[in-house]
């Protein structure tokens, strides 16, 4: 079994994205137990054939015209169904650079604090018109990048922001919901997100983080919850468990070692958090992913 963090080489580093059309011919493919993940979110548009995508939560059978969204660092794997040719476009995007001052108030909505972006796939399943429009945006983005006409960078940036706008406006279940304004605090919020990501293996002291933010301990606690919609501790724990999920299937280490590697030394607390976020134990999670824990 080969499970890995997939590097995404950007066609234009300034755009922080990659888009490519793939064609697979021949017999139906098996998964081969190849799970992978990447920090970029991923849109998949099937143009011909049947593409089956599996995540820890669901199996999707995508036919011609179907679209799917995979969140940042979300484990997934795919395979070709039937002997017919499979043609599809994959669009990878690092979202962070696209949150300029005009979009910053929605930055928190796409950080996957409460819901993985995968949960938004209901939009494409319930709204055929939106699915068609998203498919066109993905195709147009591909054509712009491949054509490299003058100003294509501007066109691609506009297309990506249009994708985000479509998700925001057609999320009828309010999975993307803004409770507070963060546009005036862009630098602070970004620095805190980066700090947490870079220190997950360590003890993260809220006193130190509040000093980084230039606030008192008590004010920072209220500030973070107001801006992010979750307490700082809950946010850090969610990030720790998300990383633990990936490590469980990517590395042959014990659960104790993985808990320590994501900064949780108390095993009872680790199991409690893991079950809270996943609804199952680490062993049950591995079984769901068809990964041996031996």
Fold match, 4-169 / 184-288: no
Topology annotation, domain 184-288? Arc Repressor Mutant, subunit A (1.10.10)
- Express each pLDDT in 113-144 by its tens digit: 777 899 999 999 999 999 999 999 999 999 99
Burial of 252 (0-12, 13-18, 19+ CB in 10 A): exposed
Q: Note the residue count of the chain.
A: 294
Q: How confident is the model at residue 1 (pLDDT cuts 50, 70, 90)?
A: very low
The residue extents of the domains of the chain are 4-169, 184-288
Give me Rg for the CA atoms of the chain: 20
Mean pLDDT estimate for the chain: 89
Whole-number pLDDT of residue 183: 54
Q: What distance in Å separates the CA atoms of residue 161 and residue 139, rounded to the nearest whole number? A: 15
Is it the case that residue 73 has pLDDT exceeding 70?
A: yes
Q: What distance in Å separates the CA atoms of residue 165 and residue 133, rounded to the nearest whole number? A: 12
Q: How confident is the model at residue 13 (pLDDT cuts 50, 70, 90)?
A: very high
- 184 or 216: which leads in pLDDT: 216
Q: What distance in Å separates the CA atoms of residue 229 and residue 193, rounded to the nearest whole number? A: 14
3 state SS of 149: coil
Structural contact between residues 90 and 103, judged by C-beta atoms closer than 8 angstroms: no
Is it the case that residue 292 has pLDDT exceeding 70?
A: no
Beta pairing partners, 54: 59, 77
Report phi then psi at 167, rounded to 5: -65, -45
Is it the case that residue 2 has pLDDT exceeding 50?
A: no
Structural contact between residues 90 and 53, judged by C-beta atoms closer than 8 angstroms: no
pTM score, whole prediction: 0.83
Whole-number pLDDT of residue 291: 65
Topology annotation, domain 4-169? Jelly Rolls (2.60.120)
Least confident interval from 30-34, 138-142, 244-248, 258-262: 30-34
- Express each pLDDT in 164-191 by its tens digit: 999 999 999 988 875 555 555 767 887 8
Q: How close are the terminal C-alpha atoms of the chain, in Å?
A: 13
Q: What distance in Å separates the CA atoms of residue 166 and residue 168, rounded to the nearest whole number? A: 5
Whole-number pLDDT of residue 107: 82
In the chain, alpha helices (H): 122-126, 128-147, 152-169, 186-198, 206-212, 217-228, 232-250, 255-261, 267-278, 282-288
């Amino acid at each position: 079994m080969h499970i890995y963090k997939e590097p995404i080489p950007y066609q234009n580093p300034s755009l922080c994205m990659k888009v490519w059309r793939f064609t697979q011919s021949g017999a139906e493919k098996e998964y081969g137990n190849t799970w992978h993940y990447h920090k970029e979110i991923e849109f998949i548009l099937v143009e011909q054939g049947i593409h089956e995508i599996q995540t820890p939560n669901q199996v999707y059978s995508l036919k011609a015209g179907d679209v799917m969204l995979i969140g940042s660092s979300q484990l997934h794997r795919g395979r070709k169904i039937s002997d017919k040719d499979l043609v599809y476009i994959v669009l990878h995007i690092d979202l962070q650079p696209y949150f300029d001052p005009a979009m910053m108030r929605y930055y928190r909505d796409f950080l996957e604090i409460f819901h993985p972006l995968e949960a938004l796939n209901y939009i494409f399943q319930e709204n055929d018109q939106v699915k068609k429009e998203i498919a066109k945006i993905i195709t147009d983005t591909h054509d712009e990048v491949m054509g490299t006409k003058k100003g294509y960078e501007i066109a691609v940036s506009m297309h990506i922001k249009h994708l985000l706008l479509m998700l925001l406006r057609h999320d009828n279940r309010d999975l993307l919901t803004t409770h507070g304004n963060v546009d005036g605090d862009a630098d602070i919020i970004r620095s805190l997100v980066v700090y947490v990501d870079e220190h997950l293996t360590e003890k993260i002291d809220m006193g130190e983080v509040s000093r980084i933010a230039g606030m008192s301990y008590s004010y920072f606690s209220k500030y973070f919850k107001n801006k992010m919609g979750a307490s700082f501790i809950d946010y850090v724990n969610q990030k720790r468990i998300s990383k633990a999920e990936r490590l469980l299937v990517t590395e042959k280490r014990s659960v104790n070692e993985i808990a320590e590697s994501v900064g949780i030394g108390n095993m009872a607390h680790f199991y409690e958090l893991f079950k809270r976020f996943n609804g199952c134990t680490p062993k049950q999670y591995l079984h769901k992913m068809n990964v041996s824990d031996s």
